């Protein structure tokens, strides 16, 4: 049950049809893994904290650099040289002390991601490299949880939700090849700060919809944006036959079994 202070704090979103008190209570119970605290992860972390998500686990092995400050709004000049995960955790705590924050200032491999995903209800991909994205995709499939993923570079961005256990494809269905070591990077191609702000905010919005049960989510869909000329498209995502990560009955059965046996720390 929401306290009087929570009813006041979240009053504006409680008024929304399809959200109300039940949605807020669902957010308060939720545990979210957020991987990447850069341009996308910064606004996502702040908006999830502001909305009242119960627990966020922040994962990033990088430190804050001066070139990050143009767009990574969870960090400031005083955070230069600090862990991005810890800096973002401090920003979340300043915004909403009621959110439980767990800091993981490291780069997680497959085993670490699998363990982390087994302890949460949803994972967020705000990373900038394919190896981590593919590993996080497999970890989410094994844990039977949704993966909400975003990417942005230059003036372009995309947001999608992958949850094969509920139907539809996974990240590897969309990007079948694992040969590339990294996606296009802002350090090479450039990016405008408000672009990652918009896409990171949409990332948080999709997570809130997934956790609260609000209608109109991106389940089974990919949203693409080119903010250079404001072109936006919503595309249907289909499972790819023979996908080595999610395809076939065996993968679905394994996901359901592992989801049922998930434990917390």
Give me the tens of pLDDT residue by residue for the chain, a chain 265 residues long: 899 999 999 999 999 989 999 999 999 999 999 999 999 999 999 999 999 999 999 999 999 999 999 999 999 999 999 999 999 999 999 999 999 999 999 999 999 999 999 999 999 999 988 999 999 999 999 999 999 999 999 999 999 999 998 888 999 999 987 655 555 666 677 899 999 999 999 999 999 999 999 999 999 899 999 999 999 999 998 899 999 999 843 344 443 333 333 434 4
Classify residue 222: in a domain, yes or no.
yes
Quote the domain boundaries for residue 12.
4-260
* Residue 173 is assigned to a structural domain of this protein: yes
If one counts the domains in the chain, the total is 1
Does any domain span residue 103?
yes
Q: What is the 3-state secondary structure (H, E, C) of the chain?
A: CCCHHHHHHCHHHHCCCCCHHHHHHHHHHCEEEEECCCCCHHHHHHHHHHHCCCEEEEECCCECCHHHCCCCCCCCHHHCCCEHHHHHHHHHHHHCCCCEEEEECCCCCHHHHHHHHCCCCEEEECCCCHHHHHHHHHHHHHHCCCEEEEEEEECEEEEEEECHHHCCCCHHHHCCCCCCCCCCCHHHHCECHHHHHHHHHHHHHHHHHHHHCCCCCCECEEEEEECCCCEEEEEECCCCCCCCCCCCHHHHHHHHHHHHCCCCC
What pLDDT is recorded for position 257? Answer: 33
Within a domain: 27: yes
Answer whether residue 265 is part of any domain. no
Domain containing residue 120: CATH number: 3.40.50.720
Domain-embedded: residue 71: yes
Q: What is the value of pTM for the model shown?
A: 0.90
Instruction: Evaluate whether residue 254 is within a structural domain.
Output: yes
């Amino acid at each position: 049950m929401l306290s009087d202070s929570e009813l006041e704090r979240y009053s504006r979103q409680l008024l929304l049809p399809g959200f109300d008190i039940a949605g807020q209570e669902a957010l308060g119970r939720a545990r979210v893994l957020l991987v990447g605290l850069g341009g996308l992860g910064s606004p996502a972390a702040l908006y999830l904290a502001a909305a009242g998500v119960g627990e966020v686990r922040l994962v990033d092995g990088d430190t804050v650099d001066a070139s990050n400050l143009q767009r990574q709004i969870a960090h400031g000049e005083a955070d230069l040289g600090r862990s991005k995960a810890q800096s973002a955790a401090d920003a979340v705590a300043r915004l909403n002390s009621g959110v439980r924050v767990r800091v993981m200032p490291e780069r997680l491999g497959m085993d670490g991601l699998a363990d982390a995903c087994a302890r949460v209800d949803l994972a967020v991909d705000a990373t900038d490299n394919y190896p981590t994205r593919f590993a996080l995709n497999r970890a989410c499939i094994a844990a039977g949880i949704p993966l909400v993923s975003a990417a942005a570079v230059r003036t372009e961005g995309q947001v999608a939700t992958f949850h094969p256990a509920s139907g539809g494809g996974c990240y590897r269905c969309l990007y079948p090849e694992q040969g590339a070591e990294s996606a296009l990077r802002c350090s090479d191609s450039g990016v405008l700060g408000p672009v990652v702000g918009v896409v990171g905010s949409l990332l948080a919005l999709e997570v809130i919809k997934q956790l609260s049960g609000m209608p109109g989510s991106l389940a089974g869909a990919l949203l693409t944006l080119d903010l250079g000329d404001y072109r936006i498209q919503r595309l249907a995502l289909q499972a790819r036959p023979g996908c080595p990560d999610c395809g076939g009955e065996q993968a679905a059965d394994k996901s359901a079994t592992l989801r049922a046996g998930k434990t917390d720390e």
